[in-house]
């Protein structure tokens, strides 16, 4: 847990000296970085002329590889996970079953250590590996040879893509969200919710650096694609509610936040445009998003799937699609 890194805006050096003296008087150890170029392990490169901030964690990947694969020559990979294409033309699309051998106790510990280390990197700096890390997390308590192979694939990708940076451009601080879901995409009838949050301008749809990304399992068994998409709206909305609170505290109160979805049924339920006759099958908690729309905190907007950038966080994609999203994030 990080409880002690914080930034301070001060008007005079005397004011800063007073603050540091008060902290030290309480017996607390204190380090001061006047450049403001590092925070919780992230390097911050400020460009005040172009009004941008570029973040990076330049040594995170190299240290991780040196720790977890010290004597292995990694060949690199074009994406962090192997894409398994659907079998088009078949009447029934059977779920993928992992019949590989169980991992050894040493392999299990190794998988958990690798994934735990790089999950922080994924959440804080490189969202491109977040779906892979969460996919490994789903099986790391009882890993198999397939889980071990997926972990090696992740390390190979990171070895050839070690330096991920994110550029944030000054904007109107308007919170914007994309929400998506993949229905029954994991064994055990598990559906995945994805979300991409960023700050933009009022008058245009200019894409900015990632504020928050979501790739997680939906905690209930969904009975349809629409229900999975509706659940994803709920998951993204609950995260955005806290983001709206933080932005208001920072002096940027929000108008109704737009959430993009590519499912017309989920959008219709959340916006009260349609009434679902068999809605009792939907978990009651997911109707939270409809209530917040009624309170004008959110506005749900439908866009076609190719314009929904949260799709990336719900499934593994072929390399050409992965490269397309990489250029966005």
Contacts with 222 (C-beta within 8 Å, 6 or more apart), sequence order = 181, 183, 184, 191, 228, 231
What is the structure's pLDDT at 2? 47
Q: Could you tell me if 196 and 178 are in contact, meaning their C-beta atoms sit under 8 angstroms apart? A: yes
Q: Could you tell me if 79 and 315 are in contact, meaning their C-beta atoms sit under 8 angstroms apart? A: no
Low-confidence ranges of the chain (pLDDT < 70): 1-4, 90-96, 278-280
pTM of structure: 0.88
* Nearest-angstrom CA–CA distance, 135 and 62: 22
Q: Residue 238 corresponds to which tokens in the numbers above?
A: 């609950």
| Of 219, 235, 230, 291, nearest in space to 261 by CA | 230
Q: Across the chain, where does the E strand assignment appear?
A: 38-39, 42-47, 52-56, 165-169, 174-186, 190-200, 210-217, 257-261, 298-302
Q: Residue 14 corresponds to which tokens in the numbers above?
A: 């005397």
Query: What three-state secondary structure class fits 114?
Result: helix
- Structural domain boundaries in the chain: 37-81+100-170, 172-321
What is the structure's pLDDT at 281? 75
Sheet arrangement for strand 42-47: 38-39, 42-47, 52-56, 165-169
Give the tens place of pLDDT for each residue, 246-255: 999 999 999 9
From residue 91, give the alpha-carbon distance in Å to each of 21, 98, 173, 225, 256. Answer: 72, 22, 47, 17, 42
What is the structure's pLDDT at 1? 40
From residue 48, give the alpha-carbon distance in Å to each of 38, 51, 52, 168, 209. Answer: 16, 5, 7, 12, 17
Q: Could you tell me if 177 and 259 are in contact, meaning their C-beta atoms sit under 8 angstroms apart? A: yes
| Of 129, 187, 188, nearest in space to 317 by CA | 129
The verdict on domain 172-321 having CATH code 3.30.420.10 is yes
């Amino acid at each position: 847990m990080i409880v002690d890194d914080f930034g301070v805006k001060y008007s005079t050096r005397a004011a800063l000296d007073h603050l540091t003296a008060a902290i030290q008087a309480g017996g607390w150890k204190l380090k001061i970085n006047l450049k403001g170029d590092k925070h919780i392990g992230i390097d911050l490169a400020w460009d005040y002329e172009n009004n941008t901030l570029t973040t990076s964690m330049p040594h995170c990947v190299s240290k991780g590889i040196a720790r977890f694969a010290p004597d292995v020559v990694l060949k690199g990979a074009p994406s962090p996970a192997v894409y398994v294409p659907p079998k088009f033309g078949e009447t029934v699309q059977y779920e993928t079953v992992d019949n590989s051998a169980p991992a050894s106790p040493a392999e299990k510990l190794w998988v958990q250590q690798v994934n735990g280390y790089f999950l922080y990197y994924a959440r804080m700096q490189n969202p491109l590996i977040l779906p892979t890390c969460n996919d490994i997390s789903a099986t790391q308590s009882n890993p198999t040879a397939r889980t071990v192979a997926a972990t090696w694939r992740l390390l190979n990708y990171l070895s050839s893509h070690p330096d991920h940076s994110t550029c944030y451009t000054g904007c109107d601080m308007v919170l914007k969200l994309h929400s998506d879901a993949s229905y029954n995409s994991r064994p055990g009838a598990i559906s995945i919710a994805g979300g991409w949050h960023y700050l933009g301008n009022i008058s245009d749809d200019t894409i900015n650096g990632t504020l928050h990304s979501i790739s997680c399992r939906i905690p209930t068994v969904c009975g349809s694609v629409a229900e999975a998409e509706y659940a994803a709206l709920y998951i993204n909305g609950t995260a955005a509610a806290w983001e709206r609170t933080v932005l208001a505290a920072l002096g940027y109160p929000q108008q109704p936040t737009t959430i993009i979805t590519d499912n017309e049924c989920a959008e219709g339920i959340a916006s009260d445009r349609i009434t679902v006759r068999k809605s009792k099958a939907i978990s009651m908690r997911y109707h939270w998003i409809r209530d917040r729309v009624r309170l004008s905190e959110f506005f749900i907007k439908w866009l076609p799937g190719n314009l929904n950038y949260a799709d990336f966080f719900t499934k593994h994609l072929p390399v050409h699609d992965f490269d397309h999203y990489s250029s966005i994030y």
